[in-house]
Amino acid sequence: MSDAMQDRTEPPAQAEAAPAPGWFARMMDHDLMASFLASRVTVLAAVVTLVLVVLALFAPLIAPYNPFDPAEVFLIDSLTPPRWQAGGDPRFLLGTDDQGRDLFSAILYGLRVSLIIGVLGVMMAAAIGITLGLVAGYVGGRVDAVIMRIADVQLTFPAILIALLVDGVVHALLKGASREDTAFGVLVVSIGLSFWVQYARTVRGSTLVEKHKDYIQAARLVGLSPVVIMARHVLPNVIGPVLVILTINLGLAVITEATLSFLGVGLPPTQPSLGTLIRIGNDYLFSGEWWIVAFPGLTLAALVLAVNLLGDWLRDALNPKLR
């Protein structure tokens, strides 16, 4: 992969002559690569993130048991401590939870669910935010005023509160459906609706700048429709900072999912996510079964910390002021 990148930056004369390289090209620029490799913490964070993502993606292959399958839940062995502890069972590396699920498997599946919800939620937030930001910036006028007022009002509230409200309202509207079926979608929607403002503001800001540039005027003269101009010409030029926000928000989204599930308004206990596992573990903290809360907690902390470190690094590396 790094070979390809070197190739791309090899002919310096041409690269300099090119009018302002696109964001992606700049990211692949070896400046950034160098700053990445220079920071040992960032490399470590990237490795941790990669390992966790791989574990989550291949959870069904790696996990010794399937926590969704009643045949692989061992109620008799519930609350078994980790293998190396007194009373541990060699079958269960990290012990079992109160329902007799293998904790290691549950964490892998939980990580998978948490990550999928986090990624989908952030993507939904970005989709809403980018669309509204583009429209607000490009169309301007009253549309702009209305969209940005809504954004301002929403900024009044912390995201977690919005997520809680959306969760409550959507569940109320879907009265007939059981929580088991709807929880996943509701979580994604809650996260999407809580985090869109930052994208909208950023995209609107850059759109306002791009709008008056010659190439947009040219596109307009050619007679392209505003939708095409926004999607094909403005969007690629304003998407850069969005990718940074995406990374930073992924950590927040995972925390939000875990928090909602922990508070009991997210996923039901039958579907392991890191949040629900911690919630279950919290109930057993006082009776000494510390492992049920400790391992999912550690996994969550490691994931969020690693993703945040990556986001911080990406933001600093792309910020020309700090270079």
Using CA atoms, how far apart are residues 126 and 233, in angstroms rounded to an integer? Answer: 18
User: What CA–CA distance (Å, rounded) separates 229 from 206?
Assistant: 15
Give the residue with the Cβ less far from other proteins, 65 or 82: 82
Q: Which stretch, 11-19, 92-100, 237-245, 251-259, contacts other proteins (CB under 8 A)?
A: 251-259
Asked if 152 touches other proteins (CB under 8 A), the answer is yes
Residue 282 near other proteins by CB under 8 A: yes
Measure CA of the first residue to CA of the last residue in the chain; give whole Å. 25
Whether 76 contacts 96, CB under 8 Å: no
d(CA 105, CA 67): 7
Q: Give the shortest CB-2-to-other proteins separation in angstroms.
A: 28
- Residue among 117, 58, 130 at smallest CA distance from 250: 117
Least spacing, CB of residue 284 vs other proteins, in Å: 11
Interacting stretch for other proteins, rule CB under 8 A, among 2-10, 117-125, 169-177, 215-223? Answer: 169-177
Which residue from 125, 255, 277, 280 is in contact with other proteins, where contact means CB under 8 A?
255
Residue 290 near other proteins by CB under 8 A:
yes
Q: Choose which of 293, 314, 317, 318 interacts with other proteins (CB under 8 A).
A: 293
Of 22 and 168, nearer to other proteins (C-beta) is 168
Burial of 97 (0-12, 13-18, 19+ CB in 10 A): buried
Q: Is 180 in the site for other proteins (CB under 8 A)?
A: no
* Residue 103 contacts residue 80 (beta carbons within 8 Å): no
Distant-in-sequence, close-in-space partners of 209: CB < 8 Å, separation ≥ 6: none
Among 57, 128, 224, 305, binds other proteins (CB under 8 A): 305
**Number of residues near other proteins (by CB under 8 A):** 39
Among 54, 62, 161, 177, binds other proteins (CB under 8 A): 161
CB atoms within 10 A of CB 291: 22
- The residue within the footprint of other proteins, chosen from 165, 208, 235, 243 (CB under 8 A), is 165
Q: Is the dihedral of CA 270, 160, 310, 10 positive or negative?
A: positive
CB 216 within 8 A of CB 272: no
Which part of the chain contacts other proteins (CB under 8 A), choosing from 83-91, 150-158, 180-188, 210-218? Answer: 150-158
Window of 46-54, 88-96, 201-209, 253-261 that interacts with other proteins by CB under 8 A: 253-261
Contacts of 259 (CB under 8 A, 6+ apart): 160, 266, 275
3-state secondary structure of 96: strand
| Cβ at position 276, least distance to other proteins in Å | 12
Residue ranges in contact with other proteins by CB under 8 A? 149-150, 152-153, 156-158, 160-161, 164-165, 167-169, 171-173, 175, 251, 255, 258-259, 262-265, 278, 282, 285-286, 290, 293, 297, 300-301, 304-305, 308-309
